[in-house]
Each structure stands twice: as structure tokens, then as C-alpha cells.
Amino acid sequence: MNDVLKAVDLSKRFRRTEALDHLDLSVPEGSIYGLVGPNGAGKTTAIKTLMNIFQPTGGSAEVLGVDSRRLGPHEFAQIGYVSENQEIPEWMTVAYLMNYLKPFYPTWDNAFAAGLLRQFDLPMDRKLKHLSRGMRMKAALASSLAYRPKLIVLDEPFTGLDPLVRDELIEGLLDSAEGTTILISSHDLAEIESFASHIGYLDRGRLQFSEEMSSLAARFREVEITLDDAGQLQGQTPSNWPASWQLPEVSPAVVRFVETRFDPERTASDLRRMFPDAQQISMNPMPLRTIFVTLAKASRKVA
């Protein structure tokens, strides 16, 4: 499988601030790649550097097989881009916007565009400045899908939108972008979890991990051990505590932690070795939001 987006040792510095720190990233063709991380993690900087909106300080990137610094009209005609703070000419009506953009894209599909406008229930004769933020985002997305791009880049598209509008945007995106590669950054982790195929976690400009969603979900577990007496730990973790056991909590009779490298046989063996007198052990899957919080807390403890 080819990589539609690829970054190697990509860096971006703003004066003394290293906003992007030696990023290595691969977005496979046909994937829906969710780029997540806390505020200020560098997600928008990463996207803008990949799209050649920002010039990189170091490293390299490729988009659709082309050096990102050499992207031209041919490549941009195959890329859809929607940003949280995207500026669109508010004096235009929805119909005017679509007709204005059409000549720039050789693959513009009139019937498909009309279907998107109907699906999003966009008023053709209303000026964009008179639309709600959710409706403007729908117009931006419709105009970016109408030419059937090979790559769609969405930078925080759901921020500030009510749940119904988010659902409509996601439904429209998934219905209309079959076979298209999607890169999406968002803090709406629950929504990304529902449809992303791959996930990357960015923190302080560094990519902490990048993997398939199914793999991520499989390797994280919330573990709880009930003991006769956990007082012997006295709030401390043993010296031979596995490195993959994060954020331990110790109370008089219960030990809790997050297993970040869960393997049924190995984890069970480690638990038997560490807690031979355990009365009860539970190992529960974790939603993406909880995984995200765990990673953020663990990262802050290391810093």
C-alpha cells in the first residue's frame, strides 16, 4: 500500500519554539488517519507544513508522491482542505461559491456537487455570512468534496459544532469520500474513534505513536487487582514493575494501573508474578478518550 502523505524528520521552528520536532509520519492510501493530541501539540503546524503553507525548518515531506515544497496546481486540484478557521468569501452565496470554484478543478462533478448540497441542506441563494458556523462548515466541505479529491485534509473541523451538525458532517464525509485518503485532526476523540482506521498521537511537536486503530485498542487495558492487603506497597511501585504499566494507584486493598502493551499471556503471567495472592483481577478495554488522557498524564509525569 502506498503512502499518500509521508514525513521524514520533519521539523518546524518559530524563533525559539520547536513546534514540530523531527516528525516521522506515514498516512496509507485509503486510510482515515486521525491526528490527535492536546492543545498546542503541533497538529495544525504539522498539517500546514505538510501542505506547504509553512516552510519546514528541516526534514522532508511528500504529498501524493510529490515533495511538499513543490506542490503545484496539479496536486492541489486533487486535495480537499477544510480548516477550523477557514476563510471563505462571505459575500458569496452558496451557489456563487460552488460556481466560482468549479473552473479550478478539472474533475469537478456537477451531479455529485448537487447531491452534496441537497444532503447538507444548503440554501443556494443565501450569502455565506448569513449562515451559521455549522452551515458554513458544510459549504466548505461540500466545495472540497465536489471534485472527488484523492486526499482530504480536515484541521479541527468539528470544533464548536453541535452534535447534530457533527453527525451530519461525518455522515456526509464517509458517504462521499469512499476510496479517498482522509487526514483529520480533532479534539473530538469520541467521533474520531467511531470512524478512524489509523491514529497518531502528537505531543509537544513529537509523534508519540502511530498505528492502526484496532492495534491501539487491543494494547491498552485498565487493570484493577483486589488484594487482601496492598499496604505493603505503601504507595510505591516495586522496582521490578513493568515499564508498560502506567499511572499506578495503590489503596489499602486495590491496585489500579493502565497496561499499555497488553498481551493476554504475558500480562497474565506478569500479574501472577507480581500479585500471587490477588483475590480478583479485571482487565477492561479503554475508549480512545481514556487512552488519550492516560497518555497525556504519563507524558506530563515524564516531562
What is the tens place of the pLDDT at every residue in 232-250? Answer: 555 556 667 888 998 888 8
- Reply yes or no on whether the pLDDT at 289 is more than 90: no
Range of the domain at 271: 221-285
Would residue 302 count as lying in a domain?
A: no
In the structure, what pLDDT confidence band is assigned to residue 296 with cuts at 50, 70 and 90? confident
In the structure, what pLDDT confidence band is assigned to residue 90 with cuts at 50, 70 and 90? very high
In the structure, what pLDDT confidence band is assigned to residue 142 with cuts at 50, 70 and 90? very high
Same domain for 168 and 274: no
Looking at residue 301, its pLDDT comes to 61
Section 131-153 average pLDDT: 93
DSSP the chain: --EEEEEEEEEEEETTEEEEEEEEEEEETT-EEEEE--TTSSHHHHHHHHTTSS--SEEEEEETTEEGGG--HHHHTTEEEEETT----TTSBHHHHHHHHGGG-TT--HHHHHHHHHHTT--TTSBGGGS-HHHHHHHHHHHHHTT--SEEEEESTTTT--HHHHHHHHHHHHHH-TT-EEEEE-S-HHHHHHH-SEEEEEETTEEEEEEEHHHHHHH-EEEEEE-S--GGGTT---TT--TTEEEEEE-SSEEEEEESS--HHHHHHHHHHH-TT-SEEEEEE--HHHHHHHHHHHHHHH-
- Reply yes or no on whether the pLDDT at 254 is more than 70: yes
In the structure, what pLDDT confidence band is assigned to residue 120 with cuts at 50, 70 and 90? very high
In the structure, what pLDDT confidence band is assigned to residue 124 with cuts at 50, 70 and 90? very high
In the structure, what pLDDT confidence band is assigned to residue 300 with cuts at 50, 70 and 90? low
- CATH number of the domain encompassing residue 18: 3.40.50.300
Looking at residue 302, its pLDDT comes to 54
Same domain for 247 and 184: no
Same domain for 109 and 229: no
- Reply yes or no on whether the pLDDT at 175 is more than 90: no
- Reply yes or no on whether the pLDDT at 130 is more than 90: yes
Would residue 144 count as lying in a domain?
A: yes
Same domain for 250 and 145: no
- Reply yes or no on whether the pLDDT at 123 is more than 80: yes
Same domain for 230 and 209: no
Between 19-28, 152-161, 253-262, the lowest mean confidence (pLDDT) is in 152-161
Same domain for 117 and 15: yes
Looking at residue 238, its pLDDT comes to 62
- Reply yes or no on whether the pLDDT at 204 is more than 60: yes
Looking at residue 63, its pLDDT comes to 95
Please count the structural domains in the chain: 2
Section 83-94 average pLDDT: 89
Same domain for 41 and 181: yes
pTM listed for this prediction: 0.86
Same domain for 172 and 76: yes
Same domain for 176 and 133: yes
